[in-house]
C-alpha cells in the first residue's frame, strides 16, 4: 500500500511539474490553458470569486436607525471555454457555487440548485455569422450582458434588477456588418423558452423572442470594451456603441417573464399574459472617461393575474413600468477610479410599487484591471420621496 501511494504521489508531482514547465499563462488569463496537440480542441479554466461587505441605514422619518451589516461571498464561479473540433465551433460553460448563484429552486427545476449559468456552443458557420445554442444571456440591455466580472460599481443597477431579461435556453443568430469608414453594425436574434435558466419542467407558457441591433459609428472598442465597464483600456479616439432591444415573451407565466414567482392559480393552473420589454442603451469611452446610459420599459397585456374564471384576482401582479440608468467614471493615475450612477424606477400604478431614485458614488482601485480589484460605493435611495436608505459597500474581486 505504501509503495502504491508513493508511486501515485510521484505521478501527481510529475504531472504538476510538467504542467509548470509548459504553462505560459499569467494571472488573469486563466488558471489552465490547454490546446490538444492535434489542435482538435482547447480548454481554458478560469475560477473567480467576489467578497462583499455591506452596511445599511434606514430612515424612520426622523432619524437613521442602527445599521444592518452583511458579509457575503457574492459570486463564486468556475468558467470553462475554448473550441471543439474546429476553432469555428466555440463553447462556454460557467458554473455558480455561491448561495446567490444557485438559489431559486422550485417545482419547475425539480427543486434543485441552479448551478449551471452558461452552457452554450457558438458556431461560426459563415463569415460574420454565428449560431448559438444552449443556455446563456439573451441580447438584452448592455449592463446585463456585461459580465459581473467587469462591473464598475459593486453590483448592477436597480434598472437591471427589475427589468432585465437575463439568461434563457434557446437559439441565437448573430451577424455583424462593416458599413464603411469603420462604421459597424451588429444584429442579434434569439428564440428561447421564456422562463429563465435551468428550467427542466416546461415549457409552461409560450416562447420568448428577442431582437437587438447595435451601431458602432467609430469602430471597435479595444478588447471588446463596449461590454466592459470603466476605462480599463484608454481609447485614444472616441468610441461609441448604441443599442436597441425588443423582447416579446408570449404567454409569460412568471412575474417578470423570465424570473420571479410563477403565476399559479388556486386550481394549480398557471396564469399567462404576453409581456413586452424594450431597451435603449449606449456605451461611450474616450481616454480615461467612460459613460453608460440605459432606458428600459416593460408592459403586459394584463398585469393582474386572475383565476381560471378570468375575473377573480389571484393576488399576483406582473411587474411593469420603466427605468433610466446613467453611469459614468473617470480613471485617475495609478488605475484609481471615481464613478457615479443615477437610477430612477417608475412602476405602473396597478403593481403597487412606489417610484424609486438612487444616487451612487464609487471609488475603485484596479490592481490588474478587472481581474484583481478593490471596490467601494455609497448609495442614497429614496422610495416615493419619503423613505430613505443609505448603503455602504466594499469588496474585492479576484479572477484567475
**Mean pLDDT for the stretch of residues 84-98:** 97
- Name every residue whose Cβ is closer than 8 Å to that of residue 288 and which is 6 or more positions away in sequence: 231, 234, 330, 331, 332
- In this prediction, residues 163-173 reach a mean pLDDT of 97
Total structural domains within the chain: 1
Mean pLDDT within 51-63: 87
Residue 265 near residue 307 (C-beta atoms within 8 A): yes
- Please write down the HEC assignment for all residues of 294-341: EEEEEEECCCEEECCCCCCEEEEECCCEEEEEEEEEEECHHHEEEEEE
The H or E element spanning position 361 is strand 356-368
Residue 142 has pLDDT above 80, yes or no: yes
pLDDT at 309: 94
- Domain assignment present for 22: no
Question: Could you tell me which residues come within 8 angstroms of residue 128 by beta carbon, excluding any fewer than 6 positions away?
Answer: 175, 176, 177
Please indicate, yes or no, if residue 19 is contained in any of the structural domains. no
Q: Is the pLDDT of residue 59 over 50?
A: yes
What is the tens place of the pLDDT at every residue in 297-345?
A: 999 999 999 999 999 999 999 999 999 999 999 999 899 999 999 999 9
Residue 152 in any domain: the answer is yes
Q: Is residue 9 domain-resident?
A: no
CATH number of the domain at 356, please: 2.40.160.10
pLDDT of residue 242: 98
CA 337 to mean position of chain CA atoms: 22
pLDDT reading at 195 higher than 50? yes
98 domain-assigned: yes
E-strand ranges in 154-288 read: 167-180, 183-192, 208-216, 235-252, 273-287
Give the residue-averaged pLDDT of 216-237. 97
Average pLDDT taken over every residue of the chain: 92
**Whole-number pLDDT of residue 20:** 46
Per mean pLDDT, which range of 57-61, 87-91, 103-107, 272-276 is the poorest? 57-61
Whether the predicted pLDDT of 390 surpasses 80:
yes
Q: In this structure, is residue 7 part of a structural domain?
A: no
The Cα–Cα gap between 157 and 281 comes to 14
The residue range of the domain holding 308 is 31-399
Lowest mean pLDDT across 29-33, 151-155, 297-301, 394-398: 29-33
pLDDT category of residue 19 using cuts at 50, 70 and 90: very low
High-pLDDT (> 70) share of the chain, %: 94
Alpha-carbon distance of 195 to 165, in angstroms, equals 10
- Tell me whether residue 1 is in a domain: no
Task: Classify residue 73: in a domain, yes or no.
Answer: yes
Q: Which residues pair with 113 in a beta bridge?
A: none
For residue 7, the model assigns a pLDDT of 55
Amino acid at each position: 500500500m505504501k509503495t502504491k501511494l508513493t508511486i501515485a504521489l510521484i505521478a501527481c508531482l510529475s504531472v504538476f511539474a510538467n504542467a509548470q514547465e509548459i504553462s505560459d499563462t499569467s494571472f488573469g488569463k486563466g488558471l489552465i490553458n490547454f490546446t490538444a496537440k492535434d489542435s482538435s480542441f482547447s480548454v481554458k479554466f478560469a475560477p473567480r470569486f467576489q467578497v462583499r461587505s455591506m452596511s445599511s441605514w434606514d430612515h424612520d422619518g426622523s432619524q437613521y436607525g442602527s445599521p444592518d451589516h452583511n458579509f457575503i461571498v457574492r459570486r463564486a464561479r468556475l468558467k470553462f471555454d475554448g473550441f471543439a473540433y474546429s476553432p469555428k465551433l466555440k463553447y462556454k460553460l460557467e458554473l455558480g457555487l455561491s448561495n446567490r448563484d444557485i438559489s431559486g429552486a422550485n417545482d419547475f427545476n425539480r427543486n434543485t440548485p441552479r448551478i449551471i449559468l452558461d452552457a452554450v456552443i457558438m458556431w461560426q458557420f459563415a463569415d460574420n455569422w454565428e449560431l448559438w445554442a444552449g443556455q446563456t444571456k439573451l441580447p438584452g440591455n448592455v449592463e446585463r450582458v456585461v459580465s459581473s466580472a467587469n462591473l464598475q460599481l459593486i453590483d448592477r443597477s436597480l434598472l437591471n434588477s427589475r427589468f432585465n431579461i437575463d439568461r434563457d435556453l434557446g437559439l441565437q443568430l448573430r451577424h455583424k456588418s462593416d458599413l464603411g469608414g469603420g462604421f459597424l453594425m451588429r444584429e442579434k436574434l434569439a428564440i428561447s423558452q421564456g422562463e429563465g435558466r435551468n428550467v427542466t419542467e416546461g415549457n409552461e407558457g409560450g416562447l420568448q423572442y428577442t431582437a437587438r441591433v447595435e451601431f458602432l459609428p467609430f469602430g471597435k472598442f479595444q478588447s471588446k470594451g463596449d461590454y466592459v465597464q470603466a476605462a480599463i483600456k484608454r481609447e485614444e479616439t472616441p468610441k461609441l456603441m448604441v443599442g436597441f432591444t425588443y423582447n416579446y415573451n408570449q404567454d409569460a407565466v412568471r412575474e417578470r417573464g423570465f424570473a420571479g414567482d410563477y403565476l399559479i392559480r388556486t386550481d394549480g393552473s398557471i396564469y399567462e399574459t404576453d409581456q413586452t420589454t424594450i431597451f435603449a442603451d449606449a456605451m461611450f469611452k474616450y481616454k480615461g472617461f467612460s459613460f453608460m446610459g440605459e432606458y428600459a420599459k416593460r408592459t403586459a397585456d394584463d398585469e393582474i393575474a386572475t383565476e381560471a374564471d378570468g375575473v377573480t384576482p389571484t393576488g399576483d401582479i406582473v411587474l411593469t413600468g420603466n427605468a433610466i440608468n446613467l453611469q459614468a467614471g473617470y480613471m485617475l493615475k495609478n488605475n484609481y477610479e471615481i464613478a457615479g450612477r443615477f437610477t430612477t424606477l417608475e412602476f405602473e400604478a396597478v403593481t403597487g410599487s412606489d417610484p424609486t431614485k438612487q444616487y451612487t458614488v464609487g471609488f475603485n482601485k484596479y490592481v490588474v484591471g478587472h481581474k484583481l480589484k478593490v471596490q467601494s460605493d455609497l448609495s442614497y435611495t429614496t422610495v416615493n420621496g419619503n423613505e430613505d436608505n443609505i448603503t455602504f459597500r466594499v469588496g474585492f474581486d479576484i479572477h484567475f
